[in-house]
Structure formats: structure tokens, C-alpha cells
Amino acid sequence: MPIAVAKINPTWAKKWMIMTLVLFAFAGWCAFDGTVTYPRQIKMYDTFVKLQNDNKEGEWPAIAKSNGWPTDKPEARAEKDILTQWIMMGIMIVLGSMSGLLIITHRGKTLEAEEDFFKASDGTKVNYEDITKIDRKKWNSKGIVYVHFKPDSEGEDDFVKLDDWVFRDADLILKEIDHNRPDLKDDLPGSD
């Protein structure tokens, strides 16, 4: 039975969900512009330029009205503008997928402190006795701590990140680490 548990912060998850939705909405807007708006504007502009070249610019308001177009001089658009919309759409889909994947990969993850060890969000078990350093440089400003540990005497140093913005109550896990390793509590500035 865990002594302390830190679960995903719902505010963090909502922020990334909103970001995901905004990115996909923008991708949809780019797709609409690339398939509907810009081709329509290109057709309007080409028609307007043809009338100018034929010295029939005075016919523009009637032609525009008959096609349901605005009677103002149309904005110049080119095929490269449509390509730009498709490129932006692709970028937004990639970014939206990445932010959505971030939420999915964190779903159900926790940090847990037990009597002899704590468990990181990726499932790594860190025995308190294996902890070699607690890097608290970013704790006061960002709520981030890096816990360095050496799993065995022959192994290389490794670390896990405790992030109090991503995991609500990560400070409870840090308190449990400090309780079990008081010798490391003051190893860096910024320790509480």
C-alpha cells in the first residue's frame, strides 16, 4: 500500500487537451481555405484581371453579383497560397497529434512512495538507499526535481524526474524521499 500517491494534474491534462483541439481546429481551417476559400478567391481574381486586361473593369460589379462574390476588388491569390495552406495543415496535424499523444501516454500514470522505494511514472522502482543526489535547482521556480540514483554498485547513474505541474502532489513523494534520505535534503540550493 503506497504511503503517498501523485496522480496526473487535471489542469495539466486540460491544457494539453485544449491545445490539441486548437491545433486540429486550425488544421481544419487550413483545409477549408485550401479547398474552398482560396480556389474561390483565385477564380474571382482571375476573372477580375481578365476584365482589366480587356478594359471591361466596369462589368466587375455585375459579374461579381451574379456569382455571389463581393463587389470589392478581389485579393490576389495564387496556387502557392493553396500549397501553403496544405503545408500549414500538415504541421498542425503533426503538432496536434503530438500533444494528443502526450495526454494519452500519461493517462493513468502515477508517482508512488512506498516504505523502501518510490515508483516513477514510467514504473521505475527507485530504492531510497540507491539515491545519490536530488537536483532541486528547478523546484522553487518550476516544481521539477531530478532524483539521481545508482541501481547497483556496478551500474551507471540514472535519474527520474518529479514534476509537480504534471503530477499533482509530487511534493508528497519528495517529502517521502527526504524523510528516507535526510542526508540529501540540503545537497543543493533551493531545498525546502
Residue 187 has what pLDDT? 52
> Where residue 164 sits, what CATH number does that domain have?
2.30.29
Same domain for 68 and 16? yes
Helix axes of 38-53 and 79-106: crossing angle, nearest 10 degrees: 170
Task: Please compute the mean of the pLDDT values over residues 76-89 and round it to a whole number.
Answer: 94
User: Residue 150 gets which letter from DSSP?
Assistant: -
Q: Cα–Cα distance between 152 and 185 in angstroms, integer?
A: 22
Residue 156 has what pLDDT? 81
The total of structural domains in the chain comes to 2
Closest CA to 103 of 5, 173, 23, 10: 10
Does the pLDDT at position 189 exceed 70? no
Q: Which long-range contacts link 66-74 to residues 24+ away (Cβ below 8 Å)? A: 69/40, 69/44, 73/48, 74/41, 74/44, 74/45, 74/48
Does the pLDDT at position 24 exceed 80? yes
191 in a domain, yes or no?
no
pLDDT (tens digit per residue) in 108-133: 999 999 999 999 999 999 999 999 99
Task: Please compute the mean of the pLDDT values over residues 9-24 and round it to a whole number.
Answer: 96
- What is the b/e burial string over 40-56, where b = at least 16 CB atoms within 10 angstroms of the residue's CB? bbbebbebbeebeeeee
Does the pLDDT at position 169 exceed 80? yes
Does the pLDDT at position 27 exceed 90? yes
Residue 154 has what pLDDT? 72
Residue 190 has what pLDDT? 47
pLDDT (tens digit per residue) in 52-75: 999 998 999 999 999 999 999 898
Average pLDDT, the chain: 91
Quote the pTM value: 0.77
Got the DSSP string for 126-140?
A: EEGGGEEEEE-TTHH
Same domain for 98 and 135? no
Same domain for 153 and 91? no
Give 178's pLDDT tier (boundaries 50, 70, 90).
very high
Domain coverage including residue 25: 10-106
Q: Cα–Cα distance between 101 and 114 in angstroms, integer?
A: 29
Give 186's pLDDT tier (boundaries 50, 70, 90).
low
Last residue of a domain, one of 86, 106, 126: 106
pLDDT (tens digit per residue) in 141-167: 999 999 999 977 677 889 999 999 999
